Amino acid sequence: MSKQQSVPEPATTPSGRKKIVSTAKGTLTMAAMAILITTSILSLRGLPSEAKYGVQSIFYYLFAAIVFLLPFSLVCAELASTYTRSGGLYRWVSEAFGPRWGWTAMYLEWQTIVIWFPTVLMFGAASLAYIFWPESFDASLASNKYYTLAVAMLMYWLATFNAFRGQRSANVLSTYGGLVGTIIPGAILIVLGIIYVCLGRHDYLDHVSFFPDFANMGTIVLAASIFLFYAGMEIQAVHINDMRNPAREFPRSVFFAILIIVAVYALGTLVIGIVVPGKNIDLLQSLLVAYKGLWSSFNLGWMGNIMALLIMFGVVGQISALVTGPATGLMAVAQSGYLPRGLQKVNKNGVNKPVLWIEGVFVSILCLVLIVLPTVESAYQIMSQMATIIYLIMVLIIYAAFIRLRRTSPGRKRGFMVPGGKFGEIIVCGLGILGALLALVLSFLPPSQITTGSPVVYVGIIIVGVVVFVAIPLVVYGLRKPSWRNPDAHFYPFDWQIEGREPSQVSKWAPGYEPTEQEVEDAETGAIASHGTGKHC
- Tens digits of per-residue pLDDT, 281-293? 888 899 999 999 9
The residue that leads in pLDDT, 235 or 334, is 334
Could you give the C-alpha distances from 451 to 45, 73, 289, 324, in angstroms and in order?
20, 35, 20, 33
Short-list 478, 510, 514, 473, CA closest to 108: 473
What pLDDT, in 10s, does the model give residues 365-383?
A: 989 888 888 888 888 889 9
Q: pLDDT tens-digit profile of 494-534?
A: 999 899 899 989 998 887 777 888 888 777 766 544 544 43
The pLDDT of residue 330 is: 78
Q: Answer whether residue 521 is part of any domain.
A: no
pLDDT-derived band of residue 415, with 50, 70 and 90 as boundaries? confident
> Is 179 within the bounds of a domain?
yes
Q: How far apart are CA 210 and CA 23, in angstroms?
A: 42
412: Cα separation from own chain's centroid: 29
Domain CATH for 46: 1.20.1740.10
CA–CA dist 218, 220 (Å, integer) = 6
pLDDT of residue 535: 41
pLDDT of residue 175: 67
Side-chain half-sphere of 372: how many Cα atoms within 13 Å?
A: 14
Q: Residue type for 388, please?
A: T
DSSP letter assigned to residue 341: G
The predicted-structure confidence for 7-37, as pLDDT tens digits, reads as follows 444 445 544 444 444 444 556 788 888 877 7
**What does the pLDDT read at residue 16?**
47
Tens-digit pLDDT profile for residues 166-188 = 766 666 666 677 678 877 888 89
What pLDDT score was predicted for residue 25?
53
What is the count of structural domains for the chain? 1
Which of 411, 406, 36, 511 lies closest to 240 in space, CA to CA? 36
- Tell me whether residue 52 is in a domain: yes
84 vs 421, higher pLDDT = 421
Q: What pLDDT, on the 0 to 100 scale, is given for residue 26?
A: 56
Identify whether 353 is part of a domain. yes
Longest dimension (CA), the chain: 73
d(CA 490, CA 218): 49
Q: For position 20, what pLDDT does the model report? A: 41
Q: pLDDT value at position 229?
A: 86
Range scoring the smallest mean pLDDT among 72-76, 339-343, 467-471: 339-343
Angstrom distance (rounded) from CA 331 to CA 355: 8
Residue 282 lies in a domain: yes
For residue 188, tell me if it sits in a domain: yes
Considering the chain, what is the average pLDDT of its residues?
83
Q: Can you give the three-state secondary structure of 239-251, one letter per residue?
A: HHHHECCHHHHHH
Which residues partner with 18 through β-bridges?
A: 12
State which residues form the domain around 370: 30-492
243: which strand partners? Answer: 28
CA–CA separation, 29 and 41 (whole Å)? 19
Q: What's residue 396's pLDDT? A: 97
Question: Using CA atoms, how far apart are residues 332 and 11, in angstroms rounded to an integer?
Answer: 12
In a domain, 8, yes or no: no
Q: Read off the pLDDT of each residue in 299-320 and give the average, rounded to a whole number.
A: 87
CA dihedral 262, 268, 274, 278 (to 10 degrees): -80
- Residue 292 inside a domain? The answer is yes
